[in-house]
């Protein structure tokens, strides 16, 4: 394991390397115990670099077995090799020369899952961000672009399949039961996009013909027996390829595109050129084993990795500080793809819920960082919601500011100007400035300044003058190492909603630039005055969540209820009801802490019930509207001195109040939504199931009985309904015979399918009860739990730490100790996953004092361990700072 040196990397220290590596030839003699890697690098000295300047290549835990320079074995004093570095003090003075480097790896012992490793007998690689240096010595940085030729040799019986990037060139037999294949990728690429897969896998094949007529052979590789579960992934891939042509004019550029599912993977998937490698969770799906959410995630992630081919691969990052250049932009593209394939408003609401649940707490806590950070200690810790999700919101705002046409012109210019290059956020923003003629200097602060901006709003109508004035005040709270903030350019989409629900016209506006339904906030304070407004409007602001901010203002309950019923912007309708729920839960939490029973306004409860029954709205939207804010949403609004038990009690009380009031309506709706058609994973079917399953929880609470959920569990013909029923049983009726029987039936049915059993772990780990801590310790002993498999760890411990506020924050600190023990156990073999799990502690300062002290103690205990990995030391120290 690479331990921490404390070194900090800074953006301002970037400088070009002295040498380039235009060509790379790799030969892998694969063996799980001892693989030999021969690398022939063509090295080129840059202009203006003195001949003979020292060449220093990166390594990570490498063993050098031989080195030749210009074909001649290197003398022992000609170089210095450590596991971390290969230094050639006086390389040849020629402009170009070759290095032959041989290293030896032990892939079967690699549990960090970076570099070359073995997952279920399949050899595979993961090189982003700095995994290539675990394979061979290299200038392992994204601005070194090389053309790769890769030869793979392996035992034919155990590895009939040999894949790498680019196009296949040659294959054949070798002696001793071995064989080989050669791949060539003509597109120069950074080392983090290198990939290799070798093993015995089943395949689904298809083809795609690009707009300009190139026929591409497609393959989705999965474990034998899982081929039918790969059909949806293949379909999503073809839809992604077509969509990128139609929406962005981007075509695929090789003769083959292969996608491989592996069962041990640190993240979701990886966009290696022409050979995407996936966590099998984001490939395998059928009605019996995958939920609608799984299908939607598969579509999104298949799209995401495919879209990287242009945003990430053809145009890549100059350095890792620019990570959002590829990630924020590609998330924006996958969001647009899903919005076009499904319901745009429903997709937008889901995105915002995700952003608030994951990115807001990051931006408001000790790990806050700008979308483009200026410093890091371990780059693996910057694959964050801020870089990905807020990065996507920033691109979305560019589109809002420029409009669709100028945005597309900016994207076209970016592709044209930078194809084949490694570039920066400045280059990206400049393309939009040049294509649109607009100045985005103030806007670019969104990339550079951390923290969630806050906008306070108040408004008044003057009936005599027929004018409407909005007072807007922006502020950005301080974040670690950035105490003073500059004023941002915040695009606020808005409408002045009249009594008939239509947006009202106005004559003139002063006090801010207002264009196409957007107020451009650029100063600390704007007083925006509209004239010619015939009657008092209701203000609908930040429509579509046009800016990722927090908002405050004294909107009356009546106005919010009005917007929930009438706003033409569906996001705003959802938001209005959601804000009312949040306010009710905040008040109820205070009541509970004061020792009283919470009460809820009947108009709010009735609004929820009537929305459920409103069949002019799509079911998926109604499901979202009826879903109460989660316990962490309420905690975030409270902000300080949080008591998770009180929040839990308040939320259950509101669920029950709605359940009791709506029970007759919900029962009829629940029955009416059921059809006997076979399962299809399309958005419409998913929407009906989503609504039905939200209703199921209300029905179970109204009945105070496990019967409705048990009935659904027993009769379900798909995983969405089965898992939803099991969740209701486990969360609300844990002590009953029905729940025990259902859990046992699920476990028995999927005993041979670890991926599906993850749902069983997940459901139990998320039960919001203090007893869950003890249950967790026994689930960790389950024969199917494995600390070396990241999916198992995330399903059980990740869900507990990040998805079960009440149990994780048990007042006695037992939840914290459970997670800390796991973090330390993981740390020994997989620092990346350990560090990510440790981020669960990031909001510790906002808890009430008892829990805060427990959390600090546990964190300090981790920090005291010797030889922590760079990954974990970085997270723990920043969290405690
Ligand atoms: N670039 C990938 C994410 C990714 C990053 C690091 C990894 O290392 C374990 C793996 C994947 C994406 O955005 O999909
Ligand atoms: Zn990505």
In tens, the pLDDT along 398-439 reads 999 999 999 999 999 999 999 999 999 999 999 999 999 999
Mean pLDDT score, 105-121: 98
608 vs 618: CA distance, rounded Å:
15
- Looking at the CA of 277, which ligand is closest? 1
Using an 8 Å Cβ cutoff, are 162 and 181 in contact? yes
**449 CB less than 6 Å from ligand 1?**
no
111 vs 128: CA distance, rounded Å:
16
pLDDT digits (tens, 9 = 90+) for 665-704: 999 999 999 888 899 999 999 999 999 999 999 999 999 9
Mean pLDDT (the chain, rounded):
98
Using an 8 Å Cβ cutoff, are 609 and 665 in contact? yes
- Looking at the CA of 266, which ligand is closest? 1
485 CA to centre of ligand 2 in angstroms? 29
Any idea of the CA torsion for 690, 694, 695, 696, to the nearest 10 degrees?
100
Ligand 1 atom with the shortest distance to the CA of 832: 9
**269 CB less than 6 Å from ligand 1?**
yes
828 CA to centre of ligand 1 in angstroms? 21
- Here the tokens at position 666 are 């919900």
**128 CB less than 6 Å from ligand 1?**
yes
Residue 77: burial class (beta carbons within 10 Å; 0-12, 13-18, 19+): exposed
650 CA to centre of ligand 1 in angstroms? 39
Residue 1 has pLDDT above 80, yes or no: no
pLDDT digits (tens, 9 = 90+) for 754-771: 999 999 999 999 999 999
Residue 737 has pLDDT above 90, yes or no: yes
- Here the tokens at position 335 are 């969001």
- Looking at the CA of 130, which ligand is closest? 1
Ligand 1 atom with the shortest distance to the CA of 327: 13
DSSP 327-383: HHHHHHHHHHHHHHHS-HHHHHHHHHHHIIIIIHHHHTSTT---SS-SEES-GGGG-
SS3 491: strand
44-53 contact pairs (CB < 8 A, 24+): 44/19, 44/20, 44/95, 44/96, 45/18, 45/19, 45/94, 45/95, 45/96, 46/16, 46/17, 46/18, 46/19, 46/20, 49/18, 49/19, 51/93, 51/94, 52/90, 52/91, 52/92, 52/93, 53/18, 53/91
304 CA to centre of ligand 2 in angstroms? 6
**126 CB less than 6 Å from ligand 1?**
yes
269 CA to centre of ligand 1 in angstroms? 6
Mean pLDDT score, 58-83: 98
791 vs 804: CA distance, rounded Å:
17
**130 CB less than 6 Å from ligand 1?**
no
Helices assigned H by DSSP within 532-569: 557-566
Banded model confidence at residue 3, pLDDT cuts 50, 70, 90: low
| Ligand 1, atom 9, residue with closest C-alpha | 266
Ligand 1 atom with the shortest distance to the CA of 265: 9
Residue 594: burial class (beta carbons within 10 Å; 0-12, 13-18, 19+): exposed
**305 CB less than 6 Å from ligand 1?**
yes
Ligand 1 atom with the shortest distance to the CA of 312: 1
Ligand 1 atom with the shortest distance to the CA of 383: 5
Q: Give the pLDDT of residue 197.
A: 99
Check 305, 351, 697, 738 and give the catalytic one: 305
Mean pLDDT score, 297-319: 99
| Edge-to-edge strand ranges of the sheet holding 161-164 | 115-119, 122-126, 196-199, 161-164
Q: Give the pLDDT of residue 554.
A: 87
Residue 4 has pLDDT above 80, yes or no: no
Using a pLDDT cut of 70, give the percent of the chain over it. Answer: 100
For ligand 1, mutation pick of 300, 383, 389, 832 (most atoms within 8 Å of CB): 383
793 CA to centre of ligand 2 in angstroms? 22
The DSSP code for 840 is G
Banded model confidence at residue 202, pLDDT cuts 50, 70, 90: very high
| Ligand 1, atom 8, residue with closest C-alpha | 128
pLDDT digits (tens, 9 = 90+) for 472-525: 999 999 999 899 999 999 999 999 999 999 999 999 999 999 999 999 999 999
Q: Give the pLDDT of residue 2.
A: 62
Using a pLDDT cut of 90, give the percent of the chain over it. Answer: 99
Q: Which residues, in sequence order, are bridge partners of residue 87? A: 56, 80
505 vs 518: CA distance, rounded Å:
14
277 vs 270: CA distance, rounded Å:
5
Closest CA to 240 of 307, 285, 297: 307
Q: Give the pLDDT of residue 690.
A: 98
Cβ contacts of residue 332 below 8 Å, gap of 6+? 391, 392, 395, 396
**101 CB less than 6 Å from ligand 1?**
no
- Looking at the CA of 328, which ligand is closest? 2
**266 CB less than 6 Å from ligand 1?**
yes
Mean pLDDT score, 658-671: 97
394 CA to centre of ligand 2 in angstroms? 16
**325 CB less than 6 Å from ligand 1?**
no
Q: Is 305 a catalytic residue?
A: yes
DSSP 97-113: EEEEEEEEE-GGG--S-
| Ligand 1, atom 1, residue with closest C-alpha | 270
For ligand 1, mutation pick of 131, 191, 269 (most atoms within 8 Å of CB): 269
SS (H, E, C) 179-246: EEEEEEEEEEECHHHCCEEEECCEEEEEEEECCCCCEEEEEEEECCCCHHHHHHHHHHHHHHHHHHHH
Q: Give the pLDDT of residue 5.
A: 76
> Nearest 5°: phi and psi at 406?
-70, -30
Residue 229 has pLDDT above 80, yes or no: yes
249 vs 261: CA distance, rounded Å:
28
Using an 8 Å Cβ cutoff, are 348 and 391 in contact? no
584 CA to centre of ligand 1 in angstroms? 40
453 vs 476: CA distance, rounded Å:
4
784 CA to centre of ligand 1 in angstroms? 26
**125 CB less than 6 Å from ligand 1?**
no
C-alpha separations of 736 from 723, 743, 766, 806, 852 in Å: 17, 11, 17, 21, 34
Please give the model's pTM, rounded to 2 decimal places: 0.99
Ligand 1 atom with the shortest distance to the CA of 113: 9
Which residue in this structure is represented by tokens 């198992």? 792
- Looking at the CA of 311, which ligand is closest? 2
Ligand 1 atom with the shortest distance to the CA of 305: 14
DSSP 60-99: SS--EEEEEETTEEPPGGG-EEETTEEEESS--SSSEEEE
**327 CB less than 6 Å from ligand 1?**
yes
The DSSP code for 624 is H
| Ligand 1, atom 5, residue with closest C-alpha | 128
């Amino acid at each position: 394991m690479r331990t921490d040196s404390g070194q900090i990397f800074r953006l301002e220290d970037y400088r070009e390397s002295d040498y380039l590596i235009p060509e790379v030839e790799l030969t892998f003699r694969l063996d799980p115990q001892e693989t030999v890697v021969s690398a022939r690098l063509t090295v080129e000295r840059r202009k203006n670099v003195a001949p003979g300047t020292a060449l220093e290549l990166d390594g990570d835990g490498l063993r050098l077995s031989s080195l030749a320079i210009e074909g001649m074995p290197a003398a022992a004093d000609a170089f210095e090799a450590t596991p971390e570095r290969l230094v050639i003090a006086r390389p040849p003075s020629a402009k170009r020369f070759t290095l032959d480097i041989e290293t030896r790896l032990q892939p079967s012992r690699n549990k960090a899952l970076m570099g070359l490793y073995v997952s279920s007998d399949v050899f595979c690689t993961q090189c982003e961000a700095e995994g290539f240096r675990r394979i061979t010595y290299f200038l392992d940085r994204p601005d070194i672009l090389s053309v790769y030729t890769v030869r793979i040799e392996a035992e034919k019986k155990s590895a009939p399949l040999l894949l790498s990037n680019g196009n296949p060139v040659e294959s054949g037999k070798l002696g001793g039961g071995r064989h080989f294949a050669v791949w060539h990728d003509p597109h120069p690429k950074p080392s983090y996009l290198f990939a290799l897969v070798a093993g015995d896998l089943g395949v689904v094949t298809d083809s795609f013909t690009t707009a300009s007529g190139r026929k591409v052979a497609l393959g989705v590789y999965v474990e034998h027996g899982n081929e039918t579960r790969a059909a949806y992934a293949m379909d999503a891939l073809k839809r992604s390829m077509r969509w990128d042509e139609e929406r962005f004019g981007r075509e695929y550029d090789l003769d083959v595109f292969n996608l491989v599912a592996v069962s041990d993977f640190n993240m979701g998937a990886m966009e290696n050129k022409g050979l995407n490698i996936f966590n099998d969770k984001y490939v395998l799906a059928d009605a019996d084993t995958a939920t609608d959410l799984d299908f939607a995630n598969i579509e999104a992630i298949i799209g995401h990795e495919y879209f990287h081919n242009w945003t990430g691969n053809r145009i890549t990052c100059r350095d890792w500080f620019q990570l959002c250049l590829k990630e924020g932009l590609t998330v924006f593209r996958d969001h647009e793809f899903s919005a076009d394939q499904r319901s745009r408003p429903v997709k937008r609401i889901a995105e915002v819920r995700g952003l608030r649940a994951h990115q807001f707490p990051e931006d408001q806590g000790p790990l806050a960082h700008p979308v483009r950070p200026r410093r890091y200690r371990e780059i693996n810790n910057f694959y964050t919601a801020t870089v990905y999700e807020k990065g996507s919101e920033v691109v979305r705002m560019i589109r809002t500011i420029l409009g669709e046409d100028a945005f597309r012109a900016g994207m076209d210019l970016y592709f044209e100007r930078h194809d084949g290059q490694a570039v920066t956020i400045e280059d990206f923003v400049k393309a939009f400035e040049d294509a649109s003629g607009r100045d985005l200097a103030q806007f670019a602060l969104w990339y550079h300044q951390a923290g969630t901006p806050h906008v306070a709003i108040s408004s008044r109508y003057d009936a005599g003058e027929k004018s409407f004035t909005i007072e807007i005040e922006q502020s950005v709270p301080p974040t670690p190492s950035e105490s003073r903030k500059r004023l941002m350019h915040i695009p606020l989409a808005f409408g002045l909603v009249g009594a008939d629900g239509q947006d009202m016209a106005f004559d003139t506006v002063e006090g801010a630039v207002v264009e196409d339904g957007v107020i451009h906030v650029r100063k600390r304070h704007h007083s925006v005055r509209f004239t010619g407004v015939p009657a008092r409007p209701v203000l609908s602001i930040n429509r579509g969540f046009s800016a990722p901010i927090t908002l405050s203002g004294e909107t009356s309950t009546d106005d919010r209820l009005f917007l929930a019923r009438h706003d033409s912007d569906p996001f705003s309708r959802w938001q209005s009801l959601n804000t009312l729920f949040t306010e009710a839960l905040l008040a109820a939490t205070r009541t509970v802490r004061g020792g009283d029973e919470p009460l809820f306004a009947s108009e709010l409860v009735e609004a929820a019930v009537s929305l459920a029954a409103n069949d002019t709205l799509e079911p998926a939207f109604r499901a979202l509207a009826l879903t109460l804010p989660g316990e962490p949403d309420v905690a975030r609004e409270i902000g300080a001195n949080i008591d998770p038990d009180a929040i839990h009690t308040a939320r259950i009380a509101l669920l029950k109040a709605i359940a009791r009031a709506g029970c007759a309506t919900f029962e009829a709706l629940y029955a009416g939504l059921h059809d006997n058609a076979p399962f299809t994973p399309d958005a419409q079917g998913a929407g009906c199931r989503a609504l039905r399953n939200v209703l199921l929880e209300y029905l179970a609470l109204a009945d105070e009985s496990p019967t409705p959920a048990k009935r659904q569990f027993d009769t379900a013909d798909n995983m969405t309904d089965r898992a939803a029923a099991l969740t209701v049983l486990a969360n609300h009726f844990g002590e009953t015979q029905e729940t025990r029987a259902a859990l046992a039936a699920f476990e028995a049915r999927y005993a041979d399918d670890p991926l599906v059993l993850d749902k069983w772990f997940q459901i139990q780990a998320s039960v919001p009860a203090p007893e869950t801590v003890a249950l967790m310790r026994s689930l960790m002993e389950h024969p199917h739990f494995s600390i070396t498999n990241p999916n198992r760890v995330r399903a059980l411990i990740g869900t507990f730490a990040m998805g079960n506020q009440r149990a994780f924050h048990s007042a006695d600190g037992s939840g914290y100790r459970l997670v800390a023990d796991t973090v330390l156990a993981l740390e020994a073999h997989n620092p990346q996953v350990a560090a990510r799990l440790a981020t669960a502690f990031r909001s510790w300062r906002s808890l009430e004092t008892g829990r805060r002290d427990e959390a600090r103690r546990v964190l300090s205990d981790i920090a005291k361990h010797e030889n922590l990995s760079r990954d974990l030391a970085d997270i723990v120290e920043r969290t405690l700072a």
